[in-house]
Chain A
Amino acid sequence: MFGRLLTSALLILTAGAFLRASDIDGTIVVQHKLTKRKVTASADAYQRGASVPLGADMEMAQDPLAYERSHVVVYVEGDLPSKPVTAELSQQDRRFTPDLVVVPAGSTVSFPNMDPIFHNVFSLSKAKSFDLGNYSKGQTRMVVFPKPGIVFVDCHLHPNMSAVIVVTPNGWSAKADGTGRFKLPNLPPGTYTVVAWHKTAGFFRKTVRVTEAGSASVEFVIPLAEDGSFQEARK
């Protein structure tokens, strides 16, 4: 453990001292809708006596492919230096907000309850399983995620609620924006395996060579065509 930390520190140092870092610019191409529409009650559902109109996930309804693209997480595999962070995954309007959190291993995520009702956040994922129990508005719980991996977060009381915490091995990770673009900045030159992950489509790996000369670019087409070739992107 100590040795690894040392190596990492050494690597960062050497990279900083001897090498000029470069970026990986990438594009996510999503072929078609991947996520099933979730039915979630809207904000005013918790007032007593108020009706509960069924609301769609507006973001997804407006541009399904943009939603898919923005829910792709890209990270680089390998023992690169990592700095734990603190993130927040709140429960608001009977939804997890945000529904996708990317943190490097060792980070702490807090789960505050903003709703006037109870929530019971839990996960059964291998990377980190926990059950925070019932707690009501204003209370929060903290969870540390020491291992990289995908952690699916649910609520016992509300089966519709779900979120994903992607615990990455290092600090080089990003979420694509609505157009599918992402950037992994300041990577030391070398050959890396870039991983793209989508909740329903799974993992996509690509090897990228980063040189001093400039930024490398990579494109993920999700999902793959059946014959393994990349399909032409279409909305």
Chain B
Amino acid sequence: MKMRFATHAFLWSFIPFALLLAGSFWVIQQRVQTTVRGGLRSSLREAHMSMARLRKENELQNSRFLQIVAENPALKAGLQLLLTERKSGAAQRTVEDQLREIAETLRFDFLLISNSDGLPLACIMRVDDQLVALDIHRLTPPQQGFFTLGGSTYQIASFPIDTNSENIGVLSIGERFDLSELSTPTILAQNGKILRSSVPNASEADLEAALGRCGNQAECETRIAGETYLTLAADSIDFGDGYTLRSLQSVDSVSGPVQGVLRKVFLFASLGALLAAAALSFFSSRSIVRPIGAVVSSLRESEQTGTLPSFQSNPETIQEIRELTESFKRAAGAVRESRENLQQAYEEFVGSLASSLDARDDYTAGHSRRVSEYSCVIAEEMNIGGRDLEIIRVGALLHDIGKIGVMDSVLRKPGRLTPEEQVLVQQHPSIGRRILEGVRGFQVYLSIVELHHENWNGTGYPLNLCDVQVPLCARIVHVADAYDAMTSARPYRSALRHEDAMRELNRYAAVQFDPEVVQALIRAEQKGRMHKTAQEPAPSRRLLSVSRAPADSDTLEGQISERRLG
């Protein structure tokens, strides 16, 4: 998969970071939750315990108070009456009435008096806020603990009734056991069966199952309807008869809000941390990649321009990047240097090639260099620059390279050439092409070398191309070549004056020459650019050209007919 370095750097720093963060947040959250839960559980347990203790104390208090009730002399008298008058309904009513009065004043729900053998004698109970006497024969309430009757459960406590240190009976006092009065959710069960429950949202079956799991443990943690409860058995009193009383407290509902807050805090913290990690990763990847990107973009630029960039080493950037830039710079410098050397060697080579060609004949000494200069002047006049200008410059230097393959006897023949000799001379563009074809990097000059003798009207050689079929560079070199030929002396004629040469060029514009190129030359000449270079020829050659001036055709036409233009 292709991936940008920035993305790569970002992902490799962000993903492990994010995973690490998320993982550690999760672990911390779990840990904190466990701790909070543990703390809450222990505080719950303590609250539970202290409540149980309080209840125990209350019961103690209560028992003292109830003992006083059992010391009621009227009740004692009533009991004695009842004991002596067992069959008397009036006696029973008397005692029931006494019990009712006690219940009324002291707000008891159940009162029973039995003889010293535990046989019930009289009993009253509160039913729908009425105190009613009960049929004692069907009752077998315990002396202590819970007692369920008529759908109500009573908590019973019993106290002996003594006279003269002789026990004559027992008073059992019961209060309806109402779970709703207890502040904590409570379960009252008998032999594992739920009798009463004030646990919200829990079915009896759930509770029974939960209690079953707790077994005989006094303190136990159990799950009811998906919630964790801490239950504590009220073991301070022996309820007897299989009754158990358990208070419950939902750990979840207590720890829920705290955990909710914690979760929220951790969510925000982890989101914040992840965002921060993303931002940090982004900036760090950017800080790594940006200098590299700068290097890469300048390399890309140099790829397009072909010139090696000179890097600016930024002192602020990272050491590695700076070193990278530096080494790039050094490498680029080395490459540039070698390339410049190569270029120089190449230029020298081309120059010496041209010079060696020119040196074969005194009359053509400096010709290639001058044609190159004139071509450049014309090309600049025609707004050609850059690489094209360079091609023209070098191409013009090499334009007569093919003359290497033309015999000296023909080439240096002072006089008119025979048609056979003319054919030989006219082969030089093709020869030049063949020579340069094999040289790598010289292909760009081929058109100049091959086509610089093609005429505008198609009468040139070797391919008889006309007007724009010939590349502009070749057309420019053609004009420059003609101009230099005319203004240079030949063994068979002297050099034309500058004005005459210009006239000739004008004459043959659009015949032999591209008129636009000629116009450009004229413009350059008017600016004085042609003069300057044209007057450079060596005196020796001028002397020669004067001394050897033949009665040659003064016209360009004549020259052209000779086909000896270089």
Binding site for B on A (CB under 8 A): 39, 41, 45-46, 48-52, 54, 94, 116-118, 120, 134, 136-137, 156-160
Query: Are B129 and A51 neighbours in the complex by a CB distance under 8 Å?
Result: yes
Given A48-B93, A48-B96, also A120-B130 (CB < 8 A): no
Q: How distant is B128 from chain A, measured CB to nearest CB, in Å?
A: 9
- Residues of chain B within 8 A of A46, CB atoms compared: 93, 97
Given A50-B130, A120-B81, also A45-B90 (CB < 8 A): no
Tell me how many residue pairs across A and B have CB atoms closer than 8 Å: 65
- Residues of chain A within 8 A of B90, CB atoms compared: 116-118, 136-137
Interface footprint category on B: 20 to 34
Question: Could you tell me the distance between the alpha carbons of A136 and B104 in the complex, rounded to whole angstroms?
Answer: 24
| B100 at the binding interface (Cβ < 8 Å) | yes
Q: Which of B78, B81, B104 contacts A52 (CB 8 A)?
A: B104
Query: Are A54 and B77 neighbours in the complex by a CB distance under 8 Å?
Result: no
Query: Are A117 and B133 neighbours in the complex by a CB distance under 8 Å?
Result: no
Residue from A45, A54, A117, A120 with most neighbouring chain B CB atoms (10 Å): A117
- Residues of chain A within 8 A of B98, CB atoms compared: 157-158
| B88 at the binding interface (Cβ < 8 Å) | yes
- Residues of chain A within 8 A of B88, CB atoms compared: 118, 136
Question: Could you tell me the distance between the alpha carbons of A137 and B78 in the complex, rounded to whole angstroms?
Answer: 15
Given A48-B133, A157-B81, also A116-B93 (CB < 8 A): yes
24 A-B pairs (CB sep. < 8 Å): A41-B97, A41-B104, A45-B100, A46-B93, A48-B96, A49-B130, A50-B132, A51-B129, A52-B100, A52-B104, A52-B131, A117-B93, A117-B94, A117-B97, A118-B78, A120-B77, A134-B84, A156-B77, A157-B74, A157-B78, A157-B94, A158-B74, A159-B73, A159-B74
| B85 at the binding interface (Cβ < 8 Å) | yes
Binding site for A on B (CB under 8 A): 73-74, 77-78, 81, 84-85, 88, 90-91, 93-94, 96-98, 100-101, 104-105, 129-133
Residue from A39, A46, A134 with most neighbouring chain B CB atoms (10 Å): A134
- Residues of chain B within 8 A of A41, CB atoms compared: 97, 101, 104
Question: Could you tell me the distance between the alpha carbons of A28 and B84 in the complex, rounded to whole angstroms?
Answer: 48
Residue on A nearest B80 in the bound complex, by CB: A134
Given contact pairs A117-B90, A118-B85, A134-B91, a sample of 12 additional A-B residue pairs in the complex whose CB atoms are under 8 Å apart = A45-B100, A48-B96, A49-B130, A50-B132, A117-B93, A136-B91, A137-B90, A156-B73, A156-B77, A157-B94, A157-B98, A158-B98
7 closest Cβ pairs, A-B complex: A136-B90, A117-B94, A51-B130, A118-B94, A49-B132, A156-B77, A117-B93
Query: Are B85 and A134 neighbours in the complex by a CB distance under 8 Å?
Result: yes
Residue on B nearest A47 in the bound complex, by CB: B93
Q: How distant is A222 from chain B, measured CB to nearest CB, in Å?
A: 31
Question: Could you tell me the distance between the alpha carbons of A45 and B100 in the complex, rounded to whole angstroms?
Answer: 9
Query: Are B104 and A54 neighbours in the complex by a CB distance under 8 Å?
Result: yes
Residue on A nearest B103 in the bound complex, by CB: A52
